[in-house]
Amino acid sequence: MRMQMEGGKRYALLLAATDSDYVKKLYGGYFNVFVDALGDEGERWDLFRVVEGHFPEMDELENYEAFVVSGSPYDAYGNEHWILKLCLLLQTLFAMQKKVLGICFGHQVLCRALGGKVGKAYTGWDIGVRKIRILKEFLPCNFLELDEIPPTLSIIECHQDEVWDVPVGAEVIACSDKTRVEMFAFGNHILGIQGHPEYTKDILNNLIDRLLSNDCIERGFGEDVKTQLLMADPDRKYWEKICQRFLKGR
């Protein structure tokens, strides 16, 4: 599946989750959610459903400007065949110095593939809108310039796993009161973001409903998060700017 115009630069979404009925009905699938947030006219975006074993061919990798790895209900430290294959692909892209943006599960599996450690979050689930702090001492990154990006930003979170230790050579570039590694970077070609810059509040609300119906979270906790969402908004425009600047160098 792709959004393309002739002659446009190529980007790949490595989708690690199946589309929910809600997202399919309202947005046409997670692919459209990502392209709406990160894509521009004149670009070609290709979808690879890695969770279903659909990967780009190795001889195609050079044709892409950058890759985005999505969130997932799976554990980034799991040993499912497709996760191990994804780790190998990410190692290959790193060796090629291709730009890779990892989001939530993508952030964690990218860390794992490059030699870091991931596991269950020490403080349990983090769901809602979370304020994170950009760590000035590890700047500059060419995609994080504090004259344009505020030193604190709010982002939608939904995870119970986290990065424990970043790979050797990588830097933690953002943290929060809940999670020590909210973002990490490896040079200017690897970026991990624990939160969801692409999510809207309605997508999170629906996800909370599904977590409640599957008894994954306690009802009181879920209702508290829903109440918080009425009063808090993510800084989506800033997150889109950060991700686009990273992926496209502008």
d(C-alpha 137, C-alpha 154), whole Å: 20
**How far from 91 is each of 58, 97, 124, 139, CA to CA, in Å?**
12, 10, 29, 25
Q: Say whether the peptide bond before residue 73 is cis (omega within 30 degrees of 0).
A: no
Q: Is 196 a catalytic residue?
A: yes
Q: Tell me the one-letter amino acid at 159.
A: H
Question: Distance between CA atoms of 153 and 94, rounded to whole angstroms?
Answer: 28
Query: Does the active-site annotation cover 41?
Result: no
Taking alpha carbons only, the member of 184, 178, 80 closest to residue 121 is 178
Question: Which of 107, 111, 162, 196 does the annotation list as catalytic?
Answer: 196
Catalytic one among 104, 111, 141, 243? 104
Catalytic status, residue 216? no
Chain-centre distance of CA 108, in angstroms?
A: 9
Counted residue by residue, the chain has a size of 250
Rounded to whole angstroms, how far apart are CA atoms 69 and 198? 12
The residue from 107, 111, 198, 243 that is catalytic is 198
Active site residues: 104, 196, 198
